[in-house]
Structure 1
Amino acid sequence: MNFQNQINFLKNLQKNNNKEWMDANRKWYKEVRDDFIAWLNEMNAKLAEIDDEYYDTPGKKGINRINNNLMFHPNKPVYKDHFGAGLDKRPGTGDFYVEIGIERSMLAGGLWRPDPKRLRSIRDAIDYDGEKLQKILNKKSFKKTFGGLYEDVKLTNAPKGFSNDHPHISLLRNKTFAVATEFSTEETSKNNFDEKLIAVYKEMLPFRRYLNKAVTV
């Protein structure tokens, strides 16, 4: 898919980030949203072919709202500067996140600041067999693709129930367990972007499966 029409819409939206402009350009918005949903449906089918545990997520179910949540973030603009969606979106687990934006686009996955119960489940899994997760993170191709865990808030000391000399203390201190890789706007408009997305999905899959097993078993 060529995302140029989508990018053009987002650029204009950011210059006129208000409900009046959106209402006047509702037809254009519906056009680019429908195109994005159609592309998500294609990727949903392709990913299901390569992953026998894939959770069917049609585009309409995976796509996120373009409105920012002003109740919790009153200082943000009315509308986002990107289109986002989650694929392989099994309830209660970490999905495969796709974001197409003006300046950059991103493919990500895992769990962003999970609730205390799921965070404890992840830490219990790391306590049990954290070497498996560390092996995934240390894989050369994984590090090349993602660098490492997404940098976010970390505890200064060991979480409750764990010691500071735990062999996987550097993992246990994390509050977010996610990875991401970014693409330029030009890259998303090339014909091979779908193939790149599939390659990233495959590389991320063992990481996501480890986390999702931790929060569901």
Structure 2
Amino acid sequence: MSFNKLFSFLRELNKNNHKEWMDSHRKEYHEVRDFYIDWLNQMDIKLSKVDPDYSPTTGKQALNRINNNLLFHPNKPVYKDHFGAGLDKEKGKGDFYIHIGINESFVAGGIYKPKKETLDSIRAAIDYNGEEFKRILNKKSFQNTFGGLMDAEQLKTSPKGYSKDHEHIDLLRNKSFAVVHTLTQKEIMKDDFQEKLVKIYKEMLPFRSYLNKAITV
């Protein structure tokens, strides 16, 4: 089994996105799914060795359902065009998300569209020590890997309780604090793909640690 077969399965599923097709290809789906779970288990071990605060996450725990939630999104297809998984998963913190799909593949981390209490905590941390956060964001290797924060919705004015002249107003106006690194199918199918993800994880770690500290302290 390989990522090549995983992509092939997703392409066929995308062309036949209905329950009848999935039911008749359930064995193939489980083979691909089991391959990816085993691969995630390997990644889990590798990441635990580079981060003393890593939260062990099995492949089964990490993997998201392939079914779309049609109750809240009735216009979406029955099945997703990707396999999504979150490693280093701990309640109340941002995970290390791996997205393998036929239309886009990427790794991401941070806090995306958090609840008000979480967002308030992040803003309080930036207000207290935004210089450290900016050092992380402006590091050359970080910029080369992620290109800065993910483009997301911002407030048009300053958040309540903060002056529009605040020295870190550019950060305080954000509603999300997440970064993304895009992957190609060619990269994913290389033998050193896991080592590449370990390097990305290590580069992202100070960023995620800053945010996790902000929302748990």
Where structure 2 has 5 or more consecutive residues not aligned to the other structure, the ranges are none
CA distance in 2: counterparts of 1:209 and 1:191, whole angstroms: 29
1:55 maps to 55
Partner of 2:64: 64
Q: Distance in 2 between matches of 1:74 and 1:158?
A: 35
The 5 Å alignment of 1:147-186 reads: 147-186=147-186
Does residue 204 of structure 1 match 2:204? yes
Q: Alpha-carbon deviation of 1:123?
A: 0.4
Deviations 1:151-202 (A, max 9, x none): 0111000011111100000101111100001111111001111111000000
SS of residue paired to 1:50: coil
1:22 aligns with 2:22: yes
d(CA) in 2 for partners of 1:80, 1:48:
29
2-structure distance, mates of 1:8, 1:183 = 17
Q: Which residue of 2 aligns with 1:5?
A: 5
CA distance in 2 between counterparts of 1:155 and 1:135 reads 23
| 1:84 counterpart letter in structure 2 | G
Shift of 1:103: 3.1
Provide the rounded CA distance (Å) in 1 between the counterparts of 2:151 and 2:74: 25
Aligned to 1:102: 102
CA distance in 2 between partners of 1:115 and 1:203 (Å): 26
What's the offset of the Cα at 1:73?
1.6
Distance 2:41 2:31 in 1: 15
CA RMSD in angstroms, aligned pairs only: 0.9
Between the two proteins, the alignment pairs up a number of residues equal to 217
Cα contact 2:2–2:35 (8 A) shared by 1 = no
Aligned to 1:114: 114
What is the aligned partner in structure 2 of residue 76 from structure 1? 76
Kindly provide the amino acid, as one letter, of the partner of residue 52 in structure 2: D
1:2 Cα offset (Å): 3.4
Correspondence for 1:41: 41
Once the two structures are superposed, what CA deviation does each residue of 1:86-123 show, in whole Å capped at 9, x if it has no partner?
Answer: 00001110000001111331010001101111010000
Mapped partners of 1:2, 1:31: distance in 2? 10
Is the CA contact 2:10–2:82 (under 8 Å) kept in the aligned structure 1?
yes
CA-to-aligned-CA distance 1:26-57 (integer Å, 9 cap, x gap) = 11110000100000000000000111000010
What is the rounded CA distance, in whole Å, between the counterparts of 1:25 and 1:139 in structure 2?
47
Identical columns (%): 60
Distance 1:204 1:168 in 2: 21
The DSSP-based 3-state class of the residue aligned with 2:30 is helix
Contact 2:98 2:106 in 1 (8 A): yes
Question: Is residue 103–residue 184 contact of structure 1 (8 Å, CA) maintained in 2?
Answer: no
Gapped regions of structure 1 (runs ≥ 5): none
1:76 CA displacement = 1.2
What is the distance in 2 between the residues matched to 1:103 and 1:19?
21
Q: Distance in 2 between matches of 1:72 and 1:131?
A: 40
Give the structure-2-normalised TM-score.
0.98
Query: In 2, Cα distance between the equivalents of 1:207 and 1:179?
Result: 9
